[in-house]
Structures are given as C-alpha cells and as structure tokens.
Structure 1
Amino acid sequence: MLKRLIMAVVLAGAACSAASAQTVGLATTKGGATNQIAVALAKTITEKSDLMVRPQIMANTAQYLPLVDTGRVEFGIANFPQTSNAISGTGMSEGEPHPNLRLVGLLIPFNAGLMVTNDSGMKTMADLKGKRLPRFPEGSLGDIIMKASLETAGLTYDDVTSVPIANFPAMFQAIKDGTTDVSIATAGSQSALDIDASTGGARFLDFKDGDDKVLEKTLPGVSLKKGTDLP
C-alpha cells in the first residue's frame, strides 16, 4: 500500500492593497508543480477578473516569501510547512518571522514524496541507506524534507552519500542524469512525469504507519495518505 507525503499548497499575500492594482505579481518557482499552478492561476484570474496577474519566477520559495511579506510582490504560492515557518519565524525561517504574510486561499494538496527509478530496487525509506541523495543547503525546504524522510527510517546523512544540489530543478536533472538515486517529487507534476519517462519508470518510496509523527516535527501540516495508484 503506497503512502505519500501530503503538503498543502497555499497562496500567501502581504498585507497590502493588491485589489486596487491593475497588474499584480504572483511569485513562483521555476518548473515543477508550483510553477504549473502559478501559470494556470494567473491565466484564469486574468481572464475572469479586472486584474492582470503575471507570474514572477524565482529560484525558490525562500527567496520570495520576504518579498511578499514586505509588499514588493503582491502574491506568492508556497507549501504549507514553509509558510507556517515563515509566519512564526521558526524552522526554515528560524529567527526571521514574516508577520505580514496572509493566507489568501488553499489551492490543492501536494501529494509528494521521494521518487526513485523502478530499477533501483528501493521500496521503503530504509532502502536509502548507502544511496546517493541530493544534499540541499542547510535549513532549506529540500534539506528539511530529506532529513525528515531519513529520520523515519532511523537514518541520517551519515548513512548515505550526499550529492550537493542547489535547487529543485537541479535535483530533477540529477536523477535523470543518474548522478543521484532519489528525488523529491509531486505526483502528477510535469517534473515527476519527466523523471518517469526519462528513466524507464519511477515510483515513490513507502512510508510506514506512525511516520507522520516524525514528519510533523519539522514539516507542520503534513500528513500521510494511503493509496495504490498515483494520480
């Protein structure tokens, strides 16, 4: 039975009067599920309202959360754990609270997890031992997800081979190039579909019962979902 990490996507906006503007920015990352959502959302709002919404692509969510907080960008799309940390100044935003952020609306759940190729032989988090994992900058979203996932199997970075990775697009490319054995991915996203197509097939590693308690320590709002098929 497949279990997947679920991260709810939120639209965060600064406490500013964006409604009176004719053109507003919607911050997003490059590639992946977040970018797909931003492009579709901007297109729909522009077509159905008096606002013209323009996606503003940046390197990562951590880069634009402060810009949304200060009103330099009107809106941004972010996952729930990172947004929660940003507002409270904890975790990924330790000591740097962003009190002006506001939740404008919930979009869709991110059915996300760790993806591996079918020929890797890996099925559970315990199988990560000795494998090549992307190593993100300390305290970044990728770093937190990797550490939390390893912890569910009683593992740390000391138990794997770390491959330095700057961001999510580089991580997606690394597993396709065969320089890493695993990638964070969102089911149904273009990046996940690309990995599946370019590697001859890919799957998500299984979590086990009780792992949600481990994940929630550093990823607030995360839960596990059981299922047999990927959307």
Structure 2
Amino acid sequence: MKYVLASAVIAAALVTGGQASAQAVGIATSNPGSIFHNIGTAVANAANQAGINATIQPATSPNQYIPFVASGGIEFGAANLQEVNYALEGKEWFTGSVNPDLRIVGHVMPLVEAIFVRADSDIRSIEDLRGQPMVDGYTAQNTILPQLDAMYATAGMTRADMQPVQVPSVVGGADAFIAGDAVGFIFAHGAGKVREADAAVGGLRALPIEETEENLATIREHWPVGFFATMEPGPNAPGVEETSTYFAYPQVIFTHAGVDEETVYQMTKAIYDSKEAMAQTFPPFNAFDPADMASDIGVSEFHPGAIRFYKEAGIWQE
C-alpha cells in the first residue's frame, strides 16, 4: 500500500509538472544513499543542464519501480541491466509479471560491488565470514540475494554458512552493520551510504575476489552479466586497501516504449555529452565511457530515440 500511494504521488507530480513544461520528466531511483539514487541524481543534473526538466523520484528498490516505469507511470529509471532483463521477460522475482514495454536508453558506469567489514576486524576474506552474523533477507530488494550467493560461492560457501541478519534493503543492511548487528554488509563502491558507514565505524575493508576464469564462471551461475573490475585505493574508494578486483555488472538508464522519441533522444544526448558534469555529482561516473552506451543489452531493446542518437554519434552497431 505504501508503494501504491507513493506511485500515485509520483504520477500526480508528473502530470502537474507536464503542464508547466513539455520536457518535464521523472527518473525513478532507489532510496537516498543507494547507488541508483546517486546515478539518477547525476543524470538528472546533466539533463537539467541540457534543458530537460528532470526530477528524481525515489522508491525502495528497482524491483518496485521497474514495473512502474514499464507501465508508463514515470519516464525513466536507473537500474542494473540484469534486473531489467528479468523484468522484461517475467523471470526470477518478476515471475508472472512480464514487462514487454521496457526499453533501454543506454549503459552508464558499471556498478562495482563488495562486502564491507570493519577495517579493524580480523575478517580479510569472504571465507572469513563463515559462521558470522551477516545481512540477509532483502525482502524489498530481491536483486541482492543472488549477488550475495555469487560472492559466497567464490569461497565455496552459501548464505546458510552465515548467521542471517534480516534486512529489507542495502540501506537497511548498512544500518544493521553500523548498529553492530552484522559483521559486514553488501554495497556498491562509491555510494554515499558506504562513506557514512566508513565514518561511523572508523574505517572499512572491502573484501576482494580473485579474478580467475573459475570465479567468473561461478558468479555468472548466479548473476549472468557479472564480470570483474579493478579498484585502486583512494579518497573515492573507502575500504579498498590495495589494488584489488571486485564483482561488477552493467548499469543502465531505461525507459518504456511509450515515451516519445524526441524526449529519449534528448536524454540520451544529455548523458552522452555530460561525463564530466555527472562525475562532479557522483565520482564513479569517471568510469563512464560514452562510446559504450550502445553496448550489448542481451534480451532487451533500445528505445528508437536512443538508436537515432547512437546512429548520429557513430556508435550504433546493428
């Protein structure tokens, strides 16, 4: 009921905004502190600088707002590619709810994720989590459990090897860690909540995963679009103690088939032209490569407005 009411408020706001400006659009994100809220904020800022009146509309998690975008309730959203593909086909936690009108605008920066623990703890590897109280459940954010499964599997473990601490979302998981209820939490590198946790406990350690063909095959059993990314220590990477590799996967801006071609064209162009501005809002956008926006999206389709821009930019491949 809470989500339904929030959806109604979003819809009403968009109708009101549309009367003031034909270019007024909404971008659905997850809650403040999350990676998708950070991504959506950066994209909205870039869009506004390009003359598009864009506002972000937070919800608890993508598995709530992806269907809302698919139904035409809001124009755009920020999410991971795997979850959009699941929603499109009605698979996994979207079983029974096919969303054929989802369309992709473009790839943005990859999400690089880790399990974070206290820097002053004895936990230095994922294996060291065995038997420890760890975040679990994620009732409002179904996407997290297979990602945890993927990470644990690289150490020959499952979630059953930990003591479960039930949380609704990644933000809730970080809060449980800060409160001392769990020894670690899963989150994206660079997110605001990671900085908050780093300051709250006096320093974090991000548990790396060795980049091997075996580990890559293992994570893809649980998360088919997963890959490895290298992180360097630095002010924008709390918890990274040395150059290490971590679990990563593609992030996208998506829309629905009913959004007019010109609006999607202008949004695509704004993102393509705004790497520097988006990185100033959210530093992980330094890893964004505009030339990769039209990269492979699996079973999903690009919106015609995005395709028109990519053809003009010379990066479209049939």
Tell me if the contact between 1:135 and 1:165 (Cα under 8 Å) persists in the aligned partners. Answer: yes
Residue by residue, what CA displacement relative to the aligned partner does 1:131-152 show, whole Å, maximum 9, x if unpaired? 1111124681122212222222
- Unmatched tracts of structure 2, length 5 or more: 1-17, 238-318
Q: Identity of paired residues, percent?
A: 25
SS in 2 for 1:114: strand
How far has the Cα of 1:77 moved from its partner? 0.3
- 1:86 is displaced (CA, Å) by 1.6
Corresponding residue of 1:148: 150
Residue 219 (structure 2) pairs with residue 215 (structure 1): yes
| CA root-mean-square deviation | 2.0
Q: Is the 8 A contact 1:28 1:34 kept in 2?
A: yes
CA contact (8 A) 1:84 1:220 kept: no
Q: How does 1:1-231 map to 2 (within 5 A)?
A: 21-31=22-32, 32-49=34-51, 51-137=52-138, 140-208=142-210, 209=212, 210-229=214-233, 231=237
Whole-angstrom distance in 2 between the partners of 1:104 and 1:218: 25
The residue type paired with residue 181 of structure 1 is V
What whole-Å deviation, never above 9, does each CA across 1:92-113 have from its counterpart, x for those lacking one? 4234322111110111111211
Distance across 1 between alignment mates of 2:24 and 2:172: 31
Structure richer in helix, relative to its length: 2
**What is the SS of the residue equivalent to 2:149?**
helix
Q: Secondary structure at the match of 2:222?
A: coil
The count of aligned residue pairs is: 212
Counterparts of 1:92 and 1:218, CA distance in 2? 14
Q: Give the whole-Å Cα distance in 1 for the aligned partners of 2:222 and 2:81.
A: 12
- Say whether the 8 Å CA contact 2:170–2:187 is kept in structure 1: no
**2:28, 2:190 → 1: CA distance?**
21
SS of equivalent to 1:194: helix
Structure 1 range deviating more: 89-98 or 40-49: 89-98
TM-score, scaled relative to structure 1: 0.84
CA distance in 2 between counterparts of 1:229 and 1:87 reads 37
The 8 Å contact of residues 124 and 205 in structure 1, kept in 2 or not, is answered as yes
Q: Which AA in structure 2 matches 1:188?
A: G
Task: Provide Cα deviations, 1:132-183, integer angstroms capped at 9, x if missing partner.
Answer: 1111246811222122222222212221100110112211111111111111
Q: Looking at CA atoms only, which structure, 1 or 2, has the larger radius of gyration?
A: 2
Deviation, structure 1 residue 76: 0.5
Q: Secondary structure at the match of 1:226?
A: strand
Q: Using structure 2 for the length normalisation, give the TM-score.
A: 0.62
- State the Cα distance separating 1:84 from its structure 2 match: 2.1
